[in-house]
């Protein structure tokens, strides 16, 4: 993986998950209770440690440090077995409460230092934030406390040890991150798992990101809590703008494009950013229709290449 940019101190940020996460970044994964945040984190950890794709996105191989406040080491092992995950040797490290009411982050710092410097780890997952003792007093509903105390405390660890941190948190009854809106404004990426009210096995992963275009990934959760990418719509309910794009690609067969260009050429009724999200969340569906999309990213812009092949019964 190559660095995508430099921060103010000249430190390069490497891509950890393509189009989702970079090193030294601070990320929030939120959902309502019981949707599966912990299972999602373990599945993500498995992809990172093995360097395999995560929900269709390439990853950079790295050890992962998993700080769990809601399950002990034995429960975490049981969840891993339920998911049938296999971690390479010395790649997945766990810190749990060890019988305490919460986890003191300062007591973990030697482990974090060893993880970053000796294990060469790039990702720390904190599951969940509310049970972490940060050594400071704060009100979770106070914008200044979250924006000026809590998140800077986590970001200081990212900067000091060159790691990304993903922490989990709850949504409130209005579907917003519990507590202050500072969570939205200060993190580098916000990942939200949204459960379908009629079918709890269907989940939409909404990703809003500082470094990449936002996107929606539609997931189906299996009986043993594994998240897999699924087609977001039935054949009779395909997004109208996606139909316009499909017709245009079928006509042109093979071409390069940007989101700004294609909305004009195909008369798509979306903004470039909206179409980018629609496109990225339907890559697998388009393959079934014989349309293959690849990224052509460079330093100044993001473009795509579209190629059409008449779909066979196998593809469909």
Q: What is the pLDDT along the chain (316 residues), one digit of tens a residue?
A: 333 344 545 566 789 999 999 999 999 999 999 999 999 999 999 999 999 999 989 999 999 999 999 889 999 999 999 999 999 999 999 999 888 888 999 999 999 999 999 999 999 999 999 999 999 999 999 999 999 999 999 999 999 999 999 999 999 888 888 888 899 989 999 999 999 887 888 899 999 999 998 888 999 999 899 999 886 655 446 788 899 999 999 999 999 999 999 999 999 988 998 898 889 888 888 998 999 999 887 666 789 999 999 987 544 4
Q: Where in the chain is the domain with CATH 3.40.50.300?
A: 3-229
Residue 165: partners with Cβ closer than 8 Å, 6 or more residues away: 25, 26, 27, 123, 124, 125, 126, 154, 155, 157, 158
Class of domain 235-308: alpha beta
Q: Alpha-carbon distance 30 to 19, whole Å?
A: 19
Q: Where in the chain is the domain with CATH 3.30.56?
A: 235-308
The reported pLDDT for the residue numbered 248 is 95
Burial of 140 (0-12, 13-18, 19+ CB in 10 A): middle
pLDDT, position 280: 84
The pTM of the full predicted model, rounded to 2 decimals, is 0.73
The CATH architecture of the domain made up of 3-229 is 3-Layer(aba) Sandwich (3.40)
Q: Whole-angstrom Cα distance, residue 51 to residue 66? A: 17
- Residue 21 · residue 249 · CB < 8 Å: no
| Three-state SS at 304 | strand
pLDDT value, residue 174: 81
Q: What angle do CA 220, 91, 112 make, to 5 degrees?
A: 105
Give CA–CA dist 1/272, Å, rounded: 27
């Amino acid at each position: 993986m190559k660095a995508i940019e430099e921060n103010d101190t000249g430190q390069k940020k490497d891509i950890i998950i393509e189009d989702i996460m970079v090193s030294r970044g601070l990320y929030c994964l939120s959902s309502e209770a019981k949707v599966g945040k912990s299972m999602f984190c373990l599945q993500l950890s498995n992809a990172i440690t093995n360097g395999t794709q995560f929900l269709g996105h390439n990853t950079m191989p790295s050890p992962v440090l998993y700080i769990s406040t809601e399950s002990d080491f034995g429960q975490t092992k049981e969840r891993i077995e339920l998911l049938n995950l296999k971690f390479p040797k010395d790649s997945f490290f766990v810190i749990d409460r060890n019988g305490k009411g919460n986890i003191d982050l300062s007591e973990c710092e030697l482990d974090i230092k060893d993880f970053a410097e000796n294990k060469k780890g790039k990702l720390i997952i904190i599951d969940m934030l509310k049970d972490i003792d940060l050594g400071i007093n704060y009100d979770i509903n106070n914008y200044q406390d979250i924006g000026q105390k809590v998140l800077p405390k986590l970001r200081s660890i990212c900067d000091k040890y060159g790691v990304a941190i993903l922490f989990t948190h709850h949504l409130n009854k209005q579907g917003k991150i519990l507590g202050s809106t500072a969570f939205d404004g200060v993190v580098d990426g916000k990942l939200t798992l949204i459960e379908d009210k009629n079918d709890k096995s269907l989940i939409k992963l909404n990703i809003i990101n500082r470094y990449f275009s936002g996107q929606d990934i539609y997931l189906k959760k299996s009986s043993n809590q594994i998240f897999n990418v699924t087609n977001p719509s039935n054949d009779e309910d395909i997004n109208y703008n996606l139909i316009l794009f499909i017709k245009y690609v079928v006509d042109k067969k093979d071409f390069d494009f940007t989101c700004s260009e294609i909305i004009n050429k195909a008369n798509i009724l979306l903004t470039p950013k909206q179409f980018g999200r629609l496109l990225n969340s339907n890559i697998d569906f388009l393959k079934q229709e014989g349309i293959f999309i690849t990224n052509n990213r460079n330093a100044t812009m993001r473009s795509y290449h579209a190629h059409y092949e008449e779909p066979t019964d196998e593809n469909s």
